[in-house]
Amino acid sequence: MDRKYRVMIIDDEESARKLMRAAINWDELDMEVVGEAASGIEAINVIDDLKPDIAFVDISMPFMDGIEFTQTATGRYPNLIIIIMTAINQFEYARKCVSLPVFDYMLKPMVRSEITKVLVRAKKKLAESNDFWEEQKAEPTGEAAYESNATELIKKYVGENFTDSKLNLAFVAQHFGFSSSYLSRKFKQDTGKNFIEYLTDLRMKKAITIAKSNVKMYQAAAEVGIPDPNYFSRCFKKYTGMSYSDYVTSKAE
């Protein structure tokens, strides 16, 4: 064959992804693991670049689970071979996938020999097809397009929760099932702003509204999700060009 079949592993547990990479003799199967994702929505956002022939998908993941990923991915790439991974206590939930074009289901913890058997069958199916990836790609429409637009969902989430002092890049990345570095790159690429700039802008707009009510600085800082008054003071001055106290005074006059 001209190329190796491309495999993607989608699981929110990093240890499970590493174990699968190490456990299988991919070369012997004429396959290679071309990428991983920690959630369905992260996978949707990189699938065009990775072009997998086969995707192992954990059914239970944050934000977009295995069923939602399967619905979206097969709507766009009908020939993608999807193998659902599920724990035994999630098997009833997995049955929701029955109407979806899933190649097989595997119970966790998975056995190396069973994985290999499934991959041999998948390879046979792929061999019976042509190099389908470019032919099958279709533009996402409707719900699939919405679900794939992670940045808009993240902006909405941040807009609703920016006063929470726990909210930062790492917190949001974990909530949506991304790595911090991936989210940082994607957010800057899609919005033109660093995540921290976007979050700080929201907090400073709120702080300006609070300042007009003659609220003390430490109270305003806490209300917008910045418990450190010194850091709040620096952010406020950078954003408005005035210290917080000067701004309050100017609005009181």
Same domain for 116 and 157, yes or no, is no
More confident residue, 25 or 70: 25
pLDDT tens, 90-102?
A: 666 666 655 678 8
Q: What's the number of domains the chain is made of? A: 2
Nearest to 53 by CA among 114, 136, 112: 136
Same domain for 131 and 55, yes or no, is yes
Same domain for 200 and 219, yes or no, is yes
Same domain for 184 and 220, yes or no, is yes
Last residue of a domain, one of 145, 175, 203: 145
Res 102: pLDDT: 84
Task: Check: CB of residue 43 under 8 Å from CB of residue 88.
Answer: no
Looking up residue 38, the CATH number of its domain turns out to be 3.40.50.2300
Same domain for 43 and 155, yes or no, is no
Same domain for 141 and 153, yes or no, is no
pLDDT tens, 225-240?
A: 998 999 999 999 999 9
Instruction: For residue 236, give both structure tokens.
Output: 């406020």
Q: pLDDT at residue 67 above 90?
A: no
Which residues constitute the domain of residue 57?
5-145
pLDDT tens, 141-169?
A: 444 443 446 788 888 889 999 999 999 88
Same domain for 16 and 126, yes or no, is yes
Nearest to 136 by CA among 198, 88, 77, 181: 77
Same domain for 123 and 158, yes or no, is no
Q: pLDDT at residue 137 above 70?
A: no
Res 91: pLDDT: 60
Res 75: pLDDT: 76
